[in-house]
């Protein structure tokens, strides 16, 4: 158990934006939402999976939709808690602990804001170990669970509850509702017991995000560049160094979709890199060959500081380093790859683990 202070939140926002692989929302908005709620409602306690009681009621809260909308249309306080309140009313019990559904700049911190407003703790863990664009891309789904109930809210005080048949339908229906709500909503789904959380949740991911954020913030002047230190910590690879020369991006179907092209510099001079994204980076190609494939994590970092750059925040001319990290083992299973692998996103590649691709590129 630990109380989150302002510095922790700052660090979580940055580290979560790295693990958020370009998606999961702008870390600055995430930080501001959490700090604003804490300032108004009081501090937040973070608990570990071990500290959960088996009969605790644990509920994820997250933002759904296009991160490009969220940087303009910021939620209202009422909107942040409305899905949780609707969930409580429908199931007839109070939420004991909230949790992030994914690790991303905003989505790791919206539950912190909700925890502050409700005076309940947040769980140190999530259901992806990263960020993914779609609602069924969660470890709960991999473990055969259904969302049962999904509640969504917008800033206009519209609240919608649905009982979808399964995770895939939950995504389809709630995405349409989110589009009608203006491209961004707050959602609760997969309300679970503490016992179930212990089986399905990827543990300690908020702490991991906090450590990465602290590393990038505090090690700027270290002998070993913070990016190098981070790659070591996450068993990652540097894929490319270069400058953004083309960014195609649109708000479509409730996502931020597009691709970014980078022109190489330093050792990558003469090379190009293309990133394809749907909120999150899903595929990195260097000179037309795959260098990292979903569900492995792909992140774009500011070349100098290592600070993460989100898909909606990337600007023409940005000098970046593209890095990749292996996904959590739950995603490298058959069902993991079926749920969030390249074929699902209609990329014409078989999933090849990052380590194999890196070895091939070296030869």
Partner 1 sequence: MIRLGIDVGGTNTDGVVLSADNEILASTKSTTTKDIFSGIKQTLAKLMEESKLNAEKIDVATLGTTHCTNAIVERKGLNRVGIIRICLPSGSAVTPLLDWPQDLVDQLDPVTLLIHGGYEYNGEPIAALEESELQNAVEKLKGEVDSIAITSVFSPVQNEQEKYVAEYLSKAMPEIPISISSEIGSVGLIERENATILNAALMSTIRRVSEGFQQALEQEGIQAKIFLGQNDGTLMTNEYAQKYPIYTIACGPTNSIRGAAHLTNEPDAIVVDIGGTTTDIGVLANSFPRQTSLAVEVGGVRTNYRMPDIYSVGFGGGTRIHREDNGWKVGPDSVGYRLMEEAKAFGGETLTATDIAIAKGQVHFGEPDIASFKDLPVDDIYETMTHVVEEAIDRMKTNSEDATVVLVGGGAALMPEALKGASKVIRPAHAGVANAIGAALGDISGTVERIYLLENDSYENIIENAKAEAVKNAVAAGADPNQIQIIQLEDFPLAYLPGQALLVKVKVAGPLKI
Residues that bind partner 1 (CB under 8 A): 26, 28-29, 32-33, 35-37, 66, 68-69, 71-80, 113, 155-157, 182-183, 220-221, 246-252, 266, 302-305, 307, 309, 312-313, 315-320
> How many secondary structure helices (H) and strands (E) does the chain include?
12, 18
223 vs 356, which CB is nearer to partner 1? 223
Rounded Cα gap, residues 119 and 244, in angstroms: 43
Least distance in Å: CB of 116 to partner 1? 11
Instruction: Report how far Cα 61 is from the mean position of its chain's Cα atoms.
Output: 12
Burial 172-187 (b: 16+ CB within 10 A, else e): ebbbebbbebebbbbb
Least distance in Å: CB of 225 to partner 1? 9
How far from 240 is each of 81, 229, 257, 298, CA to CA, in Å? Answer: 41, 17, 21, 11
178 vs 205, which CB is nearer to partner 1? 178
Residue 99 buriedness (CB in 10 A; 0-12 / 13-18 / 19+): buried
6 vs 360, which CB is nearer to partner 1? 6
Helices in the chain by DSSP H: which ranges? 6-19, 27-41, 67-70, 77-91, 110-118, 139-142, 167-180, 194-200, 205-218, 226-233, 334-340, 354-362
Least distance in Å: CB of 222 to partner 1? 11
Residue 81 contacts residue 114 (beta carbons within 8 Å):
yes
Least distance in Å: CB of 119 to partner 1? 17
227 vs 284, which CB is nearer to partner 1? 227
49 vs 109, which CB is nearer to partner 1? 109
158: left (phi over 0), alpha (psi -120 to 50) or beta: beta
Q: Running DSSP on this structure, what letter comes out for residue 327?
A: P
Least distance in Å: CB of 236 to partner 1? 19
Least distance in Å: CB of 209 to partner 1? 19
How far from 75 is each of 29, 69, 80, 319, CA to CA, in Å? Answer: 10, 10, 7, 31
CA neighbor of 230 nearest in space, from 7, 15, 9, 6: 15
38 vs 142, which CB is nearer to partner 1? 38
Least distance in Å: CB of 294 to partner 1? 24
Torsion of CA 177, 136, 233, 257, to 10 degrees: -50
5 vs 246, which CB is nearer to partner 1? 246
Least distance in Å: CB of 22 to partner 1? 14
């Amino acid at each position: 158990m630990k109380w989150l202070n302002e510095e922790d939140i700052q660090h979580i926002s940055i580290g979560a934006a790295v693990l958020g692989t370009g998606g999961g929302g702008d870390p600055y908005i995430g930080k501001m939402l959490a700090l604003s709620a804490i300032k108004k409602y009081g501090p937040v306690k973070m608990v570990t999976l071990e500290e959960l009681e088996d009969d605790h009621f644990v509920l994820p809260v997250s933002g759904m939709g296009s991160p490009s909308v969220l940087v303009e249309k910021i939620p209202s306080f009422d909107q942040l808690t409305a899905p949780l309140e609707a969930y409580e009313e429908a199931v007839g019990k109070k939420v004991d602990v909230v949790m992030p559904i994914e690790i991303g700049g905003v989505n790791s911190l919206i539950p912190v804001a909700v925890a502050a407003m409700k005076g309940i703790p947040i769980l140190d863990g999530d259901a992806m170990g990263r960020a993914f664009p779609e609602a069924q891309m969660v470890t709960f789904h991999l473990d055969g669970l259904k969302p049962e109930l999904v509640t969504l809210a917008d800033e206009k005080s519209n609240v919608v509850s649905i009982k979808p048949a399964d995770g895939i339908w939950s995504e389809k229906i709630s995405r349409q509702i989110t589009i009608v709500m203006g491209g961004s909503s707050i959602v609760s789904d997969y309300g679970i017991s503490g016992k179930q959380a212990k089986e399905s949740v990827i543990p300690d991911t908020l702490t991991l995000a906090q450590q990465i954020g602290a590393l990038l913030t505090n090690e700027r002047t270290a002998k070993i560049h913070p990016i190098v230190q981070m790659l070591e910590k996450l068993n990652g690879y540097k894929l490319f160094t270069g400058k953004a020369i083309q960014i195609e991006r649109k708000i479509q179907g409730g996502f931020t979709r597009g691709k970014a092209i980078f022109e190489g510099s330093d050792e990558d001079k003469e090379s190009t890199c293309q990133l394809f994204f749907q909120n999150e980076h899903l595929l990195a190609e260097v000179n037309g060959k795959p260098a990292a494939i979903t569900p492995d994590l792909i992140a774009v970092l500011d070349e100098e500081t290592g600070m993460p750059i989100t898909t909606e925040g990337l600007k023409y001319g940005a000098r970046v380093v593209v890095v990749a990290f292996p996904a959590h083992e739950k995603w490298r299973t058959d069902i993991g790859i079926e749920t969030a692998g390249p074929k699902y996103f209609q990329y014409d590649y078989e999933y090849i683990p990052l380590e194999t691709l890196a070895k091939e590129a070296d030869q």
